[in-house]
Chain A
Amino acid sequence: MELAKDLNGSSLLAIDYDRAIEDISRQFKETVVRFRRRGAVVAVSGGVDSAVCCALAVRALGPQRVIALLLPERESSGDSERLAMQVVEMLGVPYERKDITGALEALGCYERRDAAIRSVVPEYDRGWRNKLVIAGGLSGQFNHFYLIAAGPGGQRVERRLGLKEYLEIVAATNFKQRTRKNVEYYHADRLNYVVVGTPNKLEYDQGFFVKNGDGAADIKPIAHLYKTQIYGLARHMGLPREIVESTPTSDTYSLPQEQEDFYFALPYAELDVALAYLDSGRTAAELAGALGIDELAAKRIYADIAAKRRTTRYLHEAPVLIKG
């Protein structure tokens, strides 16, 4: 079964992979030329999105005009770097590895985040791990966030976060994406390359990116593609099997975390279908039929998509110039 189909097996999400690769590669190369740059920087995380972006950059420009960056920090999963190396080796691109832990420590990323966590979980200390979890949207509630902290002795604490603590934790954690982008632009500047942004359509549409962090780029070659389509592309391009079969993770918080429990609230395959149904004008009843859920649940999914678009609209805004 082709991956790029919706749950009913219809062709809503089906794409012609060869044509997609050709279109993206052509526009990729045209953009680099138009920007008068000589190549592309891609931060390769070990996930499917950056792997596909790197492969597309290689198709567009050739491996010698691409540099891959591996930018782990002390809380990155060990698997991420191993998978990123598989991509780099398979594609034959030059790469650099830079551990950004020291920079994050100097900026106070961990210290500020942990202080915010301790304001709601006083026992949180070294050896503990954490993650944020979204709740509410699919129950008809306003979205809100829980902190989950796990101690070395097996303790597990869950706390609903007030706005101040939530913003403090997110702001400190965002140092990770912004520091990575700093390194990416360093290499782009020294090589006269463009920086490739790796968001997929779900992340781009729903605002799951850090402004001037992973949201910053000169070209975003897969921001128009659903996650299902990206997995299909990865398979079609022969990317490493472990990546093609992986589950999306944020790899931002120290506890294992899938994207769906941090932000999206739905598995990507279902959210792909929901977004495609909503944008093609299909009703909640039709979505309910496609996902095998009741109509109220489908309406809540549509409402949650709209709420996230509303909340994150500003992330897409360019700086405002004052009219003289």
Chain B
Amino acid sequence: MKSVRDHVKEYISENFLMGLKDSAITDDASFLDLGIIDSTGVIELIAFLEESYGIRVEDAEMVPDNLDSLDAIDRFIARKTFARASSMTA
């Protein structure tokens, strides 16, 4: 199974860069600083994450700390899926 980082990187490469050079997308690189995602792109990315990982991204969670790099998304998805699993077993 693909890691979250690889999965998201692949999505960004295919959908936002359309296969053009993606070597700048390192794990900790800011998407905003790289100029590859704007606020419209973030909404698109959120829809992808919600569909792929069965989560709901709340308004308060739509912040750069959660969504502006592969590392940030990896941590965010881990937190969200853990929270969901905990609520299902509670």
Contacts and interface: CB of A to CB of B under 8 A. Distances in A.
A235 to B, nearest CB: 35
A160 B59 contact: yes
Interface in B4-52: 32, 35, 38-40, 42-44, 47
Given A162-B47, A310-B35, A141 B60 contact: yes
B63 interface: yes
Contact of A144 (B35, B38, B43, B64): B43
Nearest to B65: A140
A143 interface: yes
Contact of B39 (A139, A140, A164, A311): A311
Q: How large is the interface on A (under 10, 10 to 19, 20 to 34, 35 or more residues)?
A: 10 to 19
Contact of B62 (A144, A163, A166, A307): A144
B67 interface: yes
B67 A142 contact: yes
Classify chain B: how many residues form its interface, as a range: 10 to 19
Contacts of B38: 307, 310-311
Contacts of A267: none
Contact of A141 (B32, B44, B47, B62): B62
Interface in A122-141: 135-136, 139-141
Contacts, number: 42
Chain B interface, >50% SS class: helix
A88 B67 CA distance: 50
Given A142-B62, A142-B63, A144-B62, A163 B39 contact: no
Contacts of B59: 135-136, 141, 144, 160
Nearest to A311: B38
Q: Pick from B38, B39, B67 the residue with the most CB of A within 10 Å.
A: B39
A207 to B, nearest CB: 11
